[in-house]
């Protein structure tokens, strides 16, 4: 049996009786009629024809009833990190960002990276590169 994915976004109406259903895990969307959406939300999957149901499954709108999607996402992310051959780093050479985003927690000071911090940054990158089979 199936259940609705926990990771869906349902749009407002795009026509008189249809909406967009966005499956965020798969990054896919479907156009869905209200009548089908009502059945999905009521868990009445057996009343939906296979021609409609299969694409919903393929796009991650519905998932197996025993699926633990949160665990699946964690496992997927951990595997991607473990298997990654890319090293990603963000280096901020100054604390004096001029953008002033309202959510920023950084103290904006007119300070640039010191030579000591630059050397420590290079050492950290070098050690990270030595730990992983990094190609990118
Ligand atoms: S979050 Fe802070 S540091 Fe980042 S761009 Fe915005 S103001 Fe600058």
> Is there an atom of ligand 1 within 6 Å of 35 CB?
no
pLDDT at 85 over 80: yes
Q: Are residues 98 and 117 in the same domain?
A: yes
- Residue-number span of the structural domain to which 16 is assigned: 2-69
Q: Are residues 90 and 57 in the same domain?
A: no
Task: Extract the runs of DSSP E, i.e. beta strands, from the chain.
Answer: 2-4, 8-15, 18-23, 28-33, 62-64
Residue whose CA is at the smallest distance from ligand 1 atom 2:
104
- Residue 100, sorted as left (phi over 0), alpha (psi -120 to 50) or beta, turns out to be left
Q: Please, are residues 128 and 81 in contact by the beta-carbon 8 Å criterion?
A: no
> Is there an atom of ligand 1 within 6 Å of 90 CB?
no
Q: For residue 128, what pLDDT is reported? A: 87
> Is there an atom of ligand 1 within 6 Å of 95 CB?
no
Q: Are residues 89 and 53 in the same domain?
A: no
Which of 44, 69, 94 is at the close of a domain? 69
Q: How far is CA 121 from the centre of its chain?
A: 29
The total domain count for the chain is 2
Please indicate, yes or no, if residue 74 is contained in any of the structural domains.
no
Please indicate, yes or no, if residue 17 is contained in any of the structural domains.
yes
- pLDDT of 52-70, one tens digit each? 999 999 999 999 999 999 9
> Is there an atom of ligand 1 within 6 Å of 104 CB?
yes
Sheet of 28-33, strand order: 8-15, 18-23, 28-33
Q: For residue 70, what pLDDT is reported? A: 96
Q: Are residues 53 and 95 in the same domain?
A: no
Please indicate, yes or no, if residue 121 is contained in any of the structural domains.
yes
Atom of ligand 1 nearest to the CA of 99: 7
> Is there an atom of ligand 1 within 6 Å of 105 CB?
no
Q: Tokens for 61, please give them.
A: 């709108």
């Amino acid at each position: 049996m199936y259940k609705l994915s926990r990771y869906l976004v349902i749009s407002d109406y795009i026509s008189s009786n249809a909406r967009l259903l966005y499956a965020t895990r798969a990054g896919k969307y479907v156009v869905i009629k209200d009548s089908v959406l009502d059945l999905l939300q009521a868990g009445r999957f057996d009343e939906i024809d296979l021609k409609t149901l299969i694409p919903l499954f393929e796009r991650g709108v519905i998932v197996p009833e025993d699926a633990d999607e949160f665990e699946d996402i964690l496992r997927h992310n951990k595997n991607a990190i473990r298997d990654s051959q890319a090293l990603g780093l963000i280096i901020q050479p100054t604390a004096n960002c001029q953008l002033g985003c309202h959510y920023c927690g950084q103290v904006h000071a007119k300070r640039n990276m010191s030579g000591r911090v630059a050397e420590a940054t290079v050492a950290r990158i070098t050690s990270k590169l030595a730990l992983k089979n990094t190609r990118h």
